[in-house]
Amino acid sequence: MLSAGRTCQEYDPYGKCNGMNAVDGNAPVDATATGAHTGSNGTQVLSCAGKTWTTNQWAGYAVWNETDDSVGLITANTADTITCANGFREGYTIYSTGTVTSASGTTLTSTNHSKTWYTTMANFYYAYNVTDNSYGIITGVSGNNLTAALSGGSDNTWQVGDVFQLTAKVPHSGIRKNWNNGDNFKITNGYPCMDQIGRGSDADNDGIQEPAPSYQWDNTIDGSNLTFMKRAGDDCMVGAAGGAAMLAGRDYYDCTSKADAESHGLPAYTPYVYPHPMQNPAFWGEAGGDTTNPTAPVVVRDGTNPSANWSFTYSTRSLSANWDVCVDTESGISAYYVAIGTYPGGIGTYSWQSVGLSTNVTTSNLTLTIGVTYYYSVRAQDGANNLSSVTTSDGQYVAPDNTPPSNIAIVRDGTGADIGFAYSTTTLSANWTVSIDTESGISKYWYSIGTSPGSANISAPAYLWTSTAVTKTGLSLLFNTTYYFNVYAQNSVGLVSSTTSSNGQYVAQDYTVPTAPAVVRDGTGASDWSFAYSTRGLSANWDSSADAETGVSKYLYAISSTVIGGTSFVAWTDNGISTYVTRQPLSLVGGVTYYFTVKAQNPFGLESAVTNSNGMYIAVDTSPPTNISVVRDGTGLTDTAFTYSTITLSANWPASVDPESGIGRYWYAIGTSAGGFDVATWTSIWASTYVNRGSLTLTVGTTYYFAVKAENGVGAESAVTNSNGQYVAPDPTPPSAPAVVRDGTGAFDWTFTYSSVTLSANWDASIDAESGITKYWYAIGTLAGALDILPWTPTGNGSITSASIDNLVLNIGTTYYFSVMAENGVGAQSAVVSSNGQYVVENWSTPPYPVISNISVSGITQTSAVITWTTDRSATSQVNYGRTTSYGKYTMEDSALVTDHSVTLTGLTPAAGYHYRIITREGSGFQTISADAVFTTQSDVLPINENVHAYPNPAKPSITNPMKFRIAGAASLEVNIYTVSGRLIRKLSSATGEILWDGKNTDGQKVGRGIYIYKIISNNGDSVTGKIALK
């Protein structure tokens, strides 16, 4: 299966492969898709004299201005011009934006960023500090935290309030997003995509991956030839020439042989004999490697019965076998392999295939010859991939089936009980009783439709496999005509039953109109509105109509401003099946009454009588809102006369009142004089009576005034009310210094610590009555006030009065000191206060073994898994793992000392159980090993096809291995299970899309072997009928 999902949909953080993302190769579509702009400077339309493009041939492609590093989506083109109606964006592809809410060194925290951050962005995406014009490669992502060391800017640090972007390529400023004469361009659809099928690494580093096609030959599954398949819906890339996301002969080759593949460029390749020797632990010299083969099956029985050996079968399409369990005392049995041939040990009919740990198999879709004996061969494989010797069955003879299936007893028109008529002119349904063939079984049912019993002039014969119900759509049926289903059964050797026809169903016409809505109410609720003040929209709702034959297909409404029942203002409009409507925007006139008129329509186009509303009068609101009585500077009920902030101003006010149309919104502006708006222009804040405006540039010594006005529901405004103004005063005093800095994490001052990697401190809060405390700075040294261990580092905000630093390298016998100072709103800093110091001592009486907790396994695939855990102190990360409790494999130890650990295991075997344990060491070398834990990798077995409704089939259901029934996409199900004579033995239901059956009847008794009929009914009325075989 070949997949190229990014050509069809967004996959964060890499986006969609459509030519607009910098992560993709974005090669020009062809030789005509490159050139230079020949038009004037600063234009949005690309001109390229001499081109002879077809009109709109490039619509949907992307065009890159390679000179400017910008890209736009093409909406139209002429012979020599290209238009991007939606403009251009940066060529380095911005994935996420936001502002820094706290920062520590090279790590920023943002709680308001757009789009989710992923750990896979590390070492691939860039962080761009737009405020500072600096950037750096992202080296770590965790939740809302991101680490990137900056360069190229003015101060190259993260500060609270900095605006940032996360980009796919190196970001930069100065992008014009338009065309200048001489700008080079290319037109692309993204190919080759970053994850492109048929492309490998970018060896020459030109941004386009080198060709690396996929090859296959001589592959089979269940005896059928296997070729590459393109997953449906994955090939969305625009364009024709070179435009498909996956092309045969370019990205992959379906070859007939190895020689054919080599003729298409296959590199030197030598297939290996299964199993690969490198999969055996003994190959690597690992302790405990299993070098002995498992036991072979004692006996292989033909057929499905472990108590009887079948000597013949009537089927020409399937064979079954079962065998005794094999044993391997070292590494256990990991799988059984089966093959089929026309002589003992032969594999010509069906080559070796795994059946997992099952000791029975039914192989279908075979082409068997009557009169030939077929033999199953079985061997076991152990956990070290050693194979047993082969055991072969006695063989089963394919006997001729000379009798046709039984005739179908009855064919019922409709989906359930037999119906006599239908109203649809496009769809007919039928269902029937099962046919029986005791020799080779029923392989399929054939049906046709005609205007007389036995005729097929409406729908030619088609088969349904084992389903006993059909709904045929897309027909062209005539009213007043009877249509008949004709059905016959076919067994596995091609013999057919006689044809059974239904009684016919008459296609009748619906001549009755729907009922009219009982009442139409003006407004949005159960109460009828008589007036409104809004001149921009009208609403109505009504009772449902009814049509006993074909139902209501839609409602239509109209609006009149002159007479009840008229359509002069809004003509008849389709409202679907909804029984309410809000129509806007409208231009309504005050003093006029507007009436809704509603009618129902059925699928035959018959319409009910109309029902009219009582009308809604548009009252005239001639008065503006009341003036705002006062605007208070600041955030409270007391007017603030001054502020120390140079970036933020606040104001609040009592509500305005408008009893007619209500308050629609408030507007505010800020200026250096009463009523002015030179600092902030008029801005709407809707219904809020409070505003806090940040990111301003205010001047110390200047007074700033808020101006506020209200607007009502019809757009009338109150008079402007101004605040008294707030003066931006200078803050002449620095903050107070912290009274004391305590070593450790609590109120008690620590004098020593056992940790050689972590130091902590906390301190009393500083005070600044004018501009407040915005942050603290702390440092660590081997002397009071020294910075030789950690330079000055800011806290995220002024409320943080503690710090804990990990990943330090501390020496036993040395004293370390924290130094702290406060900073206020204008950047003034307090005096420095140092702690008394904490001495690092060695404690061998209670060694600091790391305590492991929160162990979990996530991201499990067929070949990989992620192990995560936490430790109570910083420590290394390593995992010991393997198929048994002997483990045998280790990950490379990650020497970084952390408390949150994550290790990825790769190269695992699909559908296999693994044991693992965690090994972690703290900085002094004290090591902890966790208890054993297990997980199982995902299976590499393809998912069940959605057309399979009962599986496994045949089956021997039990509580531990139930049979499953399903209909794809169903939210809930009901299944009825019958004997072939039609007796109901079990009815099951489920609120999910799948039902499990343990093989027991209604009385809790195990049902016997044989053929049974099932019927599944979904919550939306879909039904499926079929057969199951119990062993």
> Which pairing describes strands 833-834 and 1010-1018: parallel, antiparallel, or unpaired?
unpaired
Share of the chain above pLDDT 90, in %: 47
Q: Is 420 left (phi over 0), alpha (psi -120 to 50) or beta?
A: alpha
The answer to whether residue 876 is domain-embedded is: yes
Residue with tokens 């109203």: 423
Could you give phi then psi for residue 555, rounded to 5 degrees? -115, 145
Q: What is the pLDDT of residue 274?
A: 43
- Cβ count near 884 (within 10 Å): 17
Statement to judge: residues 527 and 605 lie in one domain:
yes
Task: Say if residues 113 and 806 touch (Cβ distance below 8 Å).
Answer: no
Residue with tokens 């709680």: 111
Statement to judge: residues 926 and 972 lie in one domain:
no
Q: What is the pLDDT of residue 741?
A: 96
- The pTM score is 0.33
Residue 378 reports pLDDT greater than 70: yes
The answer to whether residue 242 is domain-embedded is: no
- Kindly give, in sequence order, each residue whose CB lies less than 8 Å from that of residue 998, ignoring residues fewer than 6 positions away: 957, 958, 959, 962
Can you tell me the distance from the alpha carbon of 303 to that of 309, in angstroms, rounded to the nearest whole number? 6
Q: What is the pLDDT of residue 289?
A: 53
Statement to judge: residues 568 and 546 lie in one domain:
yes
The answer to whether residue 251 is domain-embedded is: no
Q: What is the pLDDT of residue 17?
A: 85
Q: What is the pLDDT of residue 712?
A: 86
The answer to whether residue 214 is domain-embedded is: no
Q: Which of 398, 429, 451 lies at the terminal end of a domain, its last residue?
A: 398
Task: Say if residues 1023 and 415 touch (Cβ distance below 8 Å).
Answer: yes
The answer to whether residue 602 is domain-embedded is: yes
The answer to whether residue 175 is domain-embedded is: no
Share of the chain above pLDDT 70, in %: 93
Statement to judge: residues 964 and 906 lie in one domain:
no
Statement to judge: residues 378 and 340 lie in one domain:
yes
Handedness of CA 839, 840, 844, 846 (dihedral sign): positive
- Reply yes or no: is the peptide bond before residue 400 cis, omega within 30 of 0: no
Q: Is 534 left (phi over 0), alpha (psi -120 to 50) or beta?
A: beta
Q: Which of 911, 936, 961 lies at the terminal end of a domain, its last residue?
A: 936
Q: What is the pLDDT of residue 847?
A: 59
SS3 552: coil
Q: Please, what is the average pLDDT of the chain? A: 87
pLDDT tens-digit map of 681-729: 999 998 899 999 988 889 989 999 999 999 987 788 999 999 999 999 8
Can you tell me the distance from the alpha carbon of 738 to that of 822, in angstroms, rounded to the nearest whole number? 7
Statement to judge: residues 659 and 604 lie in one domain:
no
Task: Say if residues 516 and 600 touch (Cβ distance below 8 Å).
Answer: yes
pLDDT band of 994, cuts 50, 70, 90: confident
Statement to judge: residues 682 and 636 lie in one domain:
yes
Could you give phi then psi for residue 572, rounded to 5 degrees? -55, 130
- Kindly give, in sequence order, each residue whose CB lies less than 8 Å from that of residue 401, ignoring residues fewer than 6 positions away: 314, 437, 439, 440, 491, 492, 493, 495
Residues in a beta bridge with 880: 890, 917
- Kindly give, in sequence order, each residue whose CB lies less than 8 Å from that of residue 736, ignoring residues fewer than 6 positions away: 766, 767, 768, 822, 830
Q: Between residues 753 and 882, which one has the greater pLDDT?
A: 882
Residue 529, token pair as written in the block: 């509105």
- Reply yes or no: is the peptide bond before residue 952 cis, omega within 30 of 0: yes
Report the CATH number at residue 652: 2.60.40.10
- Burial bucket for residue 350 (CB in 10 Å: 0-12, 13-18, 19+): buried
Q: What is the pLDDT of residue 311?
A: 87
- Kindly give, in sequence order, each residue whose CB lies less than 8 Å from that of residue 356, ignoring residues fewer than 6 positions away: 335, 336, 911
The answer to whether residue 305 is domain-embedded is: yes
pLDDT tens-digit map of 651-664: 999 999 988 878 88
Statement to judge: residues 988 and 894 lie in one domain:
no
Statement to judge: residues 323 and 419 lie in one domain:
no
pLDDT band of 848, cuts 50, 70, 90: low
Residue 164 reports pLDDT greater than 70: yes
The answer to whether residue 257 is domain-embedded is: no
- Burial bucket for residue 821 (CB in 10 Å: 0-12, 13-18, 19+): buried
Q: What is the pLDDT of residue 5?
A: 67
Domain ranges, residue 453: 411-507
Q: Between residues 873 and 583, which one has the greater pLDDT?
A: 583
Report the CATH number at residue 121: 2.40.30
Residues in a beta bridge with 469: 431
pLDDT band of 178, cuts 50, 70, 90: very high
**To 10 degrees, the CA torsion angle through 285, 286, 291, 295?**
-160
SS3 603: coil
State the total domains in the chain.
8
Statement to judge: residues 286 and 322 lie in one domain:
yes
Can you tell me the distance from the alpha carbon of 812 to that of 341, in angstroms, rounded to the nearest whole number? 75
pLDDT tens-digit map of 38-96: 999 889 999 999 999 999 999 989 999 988 889 999 999 999 999 998 889 998 888 88
Q: What is the pLDDT of residue 287?
A: 39
Q: What is the pLDDT of residue 384?
A: 73
- Burial bucket for residue 233 (CB in 10 Å: 0-12, 13-18, 19+): exposed
Closest CA to 789 of 738, 840, 750: 840
**Helices (runs of H) and strands (runs of E) counted in the chain:** 1, 78
Residue 94, token pair as written in the block: 């911005």
Q: What is the pLDDT of residue 286?
A: 43
Residue 103 reports pLDDT greater than 60: yes
HEC profile for 916-939?
Answer: EEEEEEECCCCEEECCCEEEECCC
Task: Say if residues 953 and 947 touch (Cβ distance below 8 Å).
Answer: no
Q: Which of 618, 653, 677 lies at the terminal end of a domain, its last residue?
A: 618
Report the CATH number at residue 983: 2.60.40
Q: Between residues 221 and 965, which one has the greater pLDDT?
A: 965
Statement to judge: residues 284 and 393 lie in one domain:
yes
Residue 629 reports pLDDT greater than 60: yes
Can you tell me the distance from the alpha carbon of 159 to that of 134, in angstroms, rounded to the nearest whole number? 12
Q: What is the pLDDT of residue 967?
A: 86
pLDDT band of 427, cuts 50, 70, 90: very high
Average pLDDT over residues 900-925: 87
Statement to judge: residues 954 and 880 lie in one domain:
no
